[in-house]
Structure 1
Amino acid sequence: MSSCRLLLSQLKLWTSGGNKWKRGLNKGTGWSGKAFLSTSSCPKVCIVGSGPAGFYTAQHLIKARQDVEVDIYERLPVPFGLVRFGVAPDHPEVKNVINTFTQTAKHPRCSFYGNVNVGKDVTISELQQAYHAVVLSYGAEGNRRMGIPGEDLPGVYSAKDFVGWYNGLPSCRELNPDLSCETAVILGQGNVALDVARILLSPLDILKKTDITQPALEALAESRVQKVLIVGRRGPMQVACTIKELREMVNLPGTRPEMLAADFEGIPEALKDVARPRKRLTELLLKTALEAPGDKELERRKNATKVWGFRFYRSPTEILSEPNLNRMSGIRLAVNRLEGSGDGAQAVLTGEVEDVSCGLVISSIGYRSLPIDPTVPFDPHRAIVPNSLGRVPQAAGLYCSGWLKTGPTGVIATTMNNSFDTARSLLEDMESGTLDVSPARTGSQVVSRLLEERGVKPVTFSDWEKIDSLETKRGDARGKPREKLLTVEEMLTAART
């Protein structure tokens, strides 16, 4: 038996003696059960990024191999990435994965180090020297630009920043979007676009019971937005949202749908040979757009004060501005037709354009990963780290998972499978000897020394639990699940209290 496996078996015997022994050590030394595992012969893996991709990768590694140690590094003082900062506030059930991630973070062979900016506070090369393997899972924090005139005018925002604003991402705290207009246009028809539309139109009584930030709640209380158009370059049969998100829009209290019948010409006939998930989604669209509602739904729509609707076959060509004012006044859309069918259909310009008056444009055309370190290969066109099943070519011991690996596609379950695949690739390389785990590596010990020398104090998972406790208490006082701390400084103060 290797010294690492022997140590693990001894640990199980020690810890089986009861919680009293563990509590005594915890009280006296702050021990969490992890220090005893830090022996040089254990395979040591470093994961950069603590979102779903990072935690799912860690979870699979720890479950699959009984001697591997995993350290997770995160730029912010708080973990969970897009589960905390991307999932809509009115979708608390989606955030339940945090319970699973917490179990992983508290595992004796896993450690969390927040407030560490990899690429700045410590380099990838330094991590590679300290660990047998490094997995990059830091997601996609950049915006895809539209590339049209006027997109930098006030009143134009990316969905990433808008979502970050109402979800408490520190870098988006100062966004302060102008919601004083009547009509908003969202570009893109994926789930994020529908999240944004729903937040803009939701009754405050619903939002008050969520973990939406207080500044966002106050701004939405003053919002004058009454109409939201959700624009896509292709047709109803290529819409990118899920049926769950569409159904939520259809049933959103206080709103009614308003769509163009012309956008649905030929769609009923085209449904015959479509796969069932796409067929059900399109049928719901057709029913919402074209069918006469029943008495109950008709009454609901009559009483609605707000309107939403999809606009298909349209691409943005220019953000229009008010004469002599540095402020947007509308958007010019090119009218498209489709060539081909199904998911492979391409939007082709017809030469027609139409102008839509609006005071708010939110671009939801995708997130984009950014390079982290000059030594790491990066494909700027696809905005991913080039890889084969998570392995980074010509970079032994370097892997990637999540959106950095595939691009920003899919839901949390997609990311889970993607991350498990990367973990399997890493484990296969350990077993085959392609990844040599025999040399001694000191892991977090040497990295902690480097960070201390550079004046960086990491936030541990127990420190995060102090932040969590404070946010929960603040939320309780307002009848909410939590009231998030909105600055890194507040987070660090809470963590170190």
Structure 2
Amino acid sequence: MAFAITQTCCADASCVSVCPVNCIHPTPDEPDFGRTEMLYVDPATCIDCGACADACPVDAIFPAGDLTGPLRAYEEINAEYYAGQDVLAEASAAPNFHRWTPPAFTRVLPSDFAPLDVAVVGSGPAGMYAVEDLLLHTNARVTLIDRLPVAGGLIRFGVAPDHPSTKKIGETFARFHDHPRLRLRLGTEIGRDVTAAELAARYDAVVYAVGATAARPLGVPGEDLPGSLAATTVVGWYNGHPDVAPGAVDLSAERVAVVGTGNVALDIARILTADPETLVGTEIAPAALARLRSSKVREVVLLARRGPETAAYTRPELLALAERAGVDLVLDSHDPRVAAAIDRGEGKAALLRGLPREAVDWSTPPPDDRRRIVLRFHSAPLAFTGDTEVRGVRVTGAGGAVEIGAGRVVRAAGFRGTGVPGLPFDELTGTVPNVEGRVERHPGTYVAGWIKRGPSGGIGANRACARETIGALLEDAVAGRFPVRRRVRKLFSRA
């Protein structure tokens, strides 16, 4: 019985490295790695050893025959990836047995080097993959810095509470917090508690992995009205982010519009329409759970600029949304291009073929008998309407502009990085200018993750990104490119 990778795949390739028959693709050295929604097991090559399932940090791999309910589709999804790739399957059919040899730590610095002192700023996935690489493959001493009083970054405060398997990768990262060559400096903000210049003087190298935590603006009138919320606010609210007040999200509106159809938009729609009792026992913030219990929200509308064939969500997240009990998923049939794309089966549009279609009358309240989520495509936002607070959003439509009445509107059109005081910053891309992670004109300073490459790729994509950065750092160390370090005493109050 072959194994299959399912919805919560983090794509960090831990499974690839342990597979004895090379049946999991794309691998980190293949062009599609980081571009596909997930990794896939080739059922024709899998020998049912279970090594991948043991290595998976998010419990996303199961025997295909054991899959039930919504996960049953993943047996076919894994097989579909290999359709027409017989050459790959044939080449991988024999087990890759190797002679045991002494371990080779290819990234350890030469023995005549004193251990490097490296600071990593940011304790999310990119920062922790950098820390992992440094601690496991070099003799460096690492100081992990985060502006928040708790570690975890995106894993702790960005993953939805009803995705506990995805959050489990945080346990993998947390084991490094007790490493004898790691020091944690939490509650320390660059520019407030310590400067970039002070870090550069104290450490041989500094890696900034601070993510992209700001909401990308829509640039339409009224988006700053009260009742217009950034997705970062809503996600931080239900995850108990220290920067977001417990009462930041008002759920007194019957209809909430969400501008965007990426995975974060789907997370928000799913949480706002969830039965609160299904969230008991998860890591949802207690204040958010209490507010969901008294919520008046009955309908969430997901607005996409383009058609269903190019929707931003991943296939696993849409499948999970469509299979929920007690919440209807409906397609607004206002534009004939939507039905045409679905019926032709173009790209992701084929996934919507079985959904009920409805010409929604947005001037009327949502149905009061069931909760539902409505997908509306070809609906670019033109303006948020309202005088003293949001009352709706005006969008494009097949017959002209349409106003969708909504007491709350969430802006979920993507993220962007913010500048780090003391480092260069590209306002257009929202990144720190760099070459393979090296910050321009700042020797010994590096970036990893979304602040390096922009907000693209999931959790696992940060492993290869961080590896490239640490590789550049080690090359510079060997070549003697670090600036002369000045010892700074008591850089941190607890040092």
TM-score (norm 1): 0.71
**Structure-2 separation of matches of 1:232 and 1:186:** 9
Comparing 351-360 with 234-243, which one deviates more in the overlay? 351-360
By how many angstroms is 1:265 displaced? 3.4
| 1-structure distance, mates of 2:133, 2:467 | 6
1:134-283 alignment, distance < 5 Å: 134-261=206-333, 262-268=336-342, 271=345, 279=347, 281-283=348-350
1:43 aligns with 2:116: yes
Q: Distance in 1 between matches of 2:439 and 2:158?
A: 27
Q: Tell me, in whole angstroms, the C-alpha distance in 1 between the residues paired with 2:389 and 2:428.
A: 31
397, 401, 412: which one aligns with 1:364 = 412
Distance apart, 1:61 and its partner CA: 1.8
Q: Which moved more, 1:427-436 or 1:247-256?
A: 427-436
Deviation for aligned residue 1:176: 2.8
1:328 has 2:390 as partner: yes
Q: Secondary structure at the match of 2:476?
A: helix
Aligned to 2:432: 385
Secondary structure of the equivalent of 1:451?
coil
Distance, in Å, in 2 between the alignment partners of 1:175 and 1:152 is 18
1:9-67 superposed Cα distances (whole Å, 9 cap, x missing partner)? xxxxxxxxxxxxxxxxxxxxxxxxxxxxxxx93211111111111111111122222x2
The question of whether the paired residues in 1 share the 8 Å contact of 2:148 and 2:187 is answered with: yes
3-state SS, counterpart of residue 240 of structure 1? coil
Question: Structure 2 regions of 5+ residues with no counterpart?
Answer: 1-112, 359-366
Which segments of 5 or more consecutive residues in structure 1 lack a partner in the other structure?
Answer: 1-39, 273-278, 292-301, 337-350, 459-497
| Corresponding residue for residue 58 of structure 1 | 131
Asked whether the 8 Å contact 1:48–1:72 carries over to 2, the reply is yes
Aligned partners of 1:232 and 1:312 also within 8 Å: yes
RMSD: 2.4
Q: 1:157 aligns to what SS in structure 2?
A: strand
Q: Output one character per residue of 1:104-125: Cα deviation in whole Å (capped at 9) or x when no partner.
A: 2222222211111122111111
Contact kept? 1:264, 1:286, Cα under 8 Å? no
Find the counterpart in structure 2 of residue 108 from structure 1: 180
How many angstroms does 1:304 deviate by?
6.9
Moved over 6 A (4+): none
SS at match of 1:140: coil
1:285 aligns with 2:332: no
Which residue pairs with 1:120 in the alignment? 192
SS at match of 2:250: coil
The structure with higher relative contact order (CA 8 Å, sep 6+) is: 1
Q: 2:152 aligns with which of 76, 80, 83?
A: 80
| Partner residue, 1:306 | 371
Q: Which residue of 1 aligns with 2:472?
A: 425
In structure 2, the residue matched to 1:451 is 492
Deviation at 1:329, TM superposition (A): 1.3
Query: Does the C-alpha gap of structure 1 residues 381 and 303 become closer, same or farther in structure 2, counting only changes over 3 Å?
Result: closer
> In structure 2, what is the Cα distance between the partners aligned to 1:358 and 1:109?
52
Contact 1:41 1:440 in 2 (8 A): no
Equivalent AA in structure 1 for residue 340 of structure 2: G
More helix by share: 1
Alpha-carbon displacement from aligned partner over 1:116-147 (angstroms, at most 9, x marks no partner):
11221111111101111111111122222222
For 2:250 and 2:368, the matched residues in 1 are separated by 27
Letter in 2 for 1:333: V
SS of 1:417's partner is helix
Match of 1:94 in 2: 166
**CA shift digits 1:366-411 (9 cap, x unpaired):** 12211121x3110011110011111112211110001101111221
CA distance in 1, matches of 2:319, 2:342: 19
Equivalence for 2:15: none
In the superposition, the TM-score normalised over structure 2's length comes to 0.71
Distance 1:184 1:317, change over 3 A: same
Contact between 1:203 and 1:253, CA under 8 Å: does it hold in 2? no
Note closer, same or farther for the CA distance 1:250–1:269 as it changes in structure 2 (3 Å cut).
closer
Show the counterpart of 1:492: none
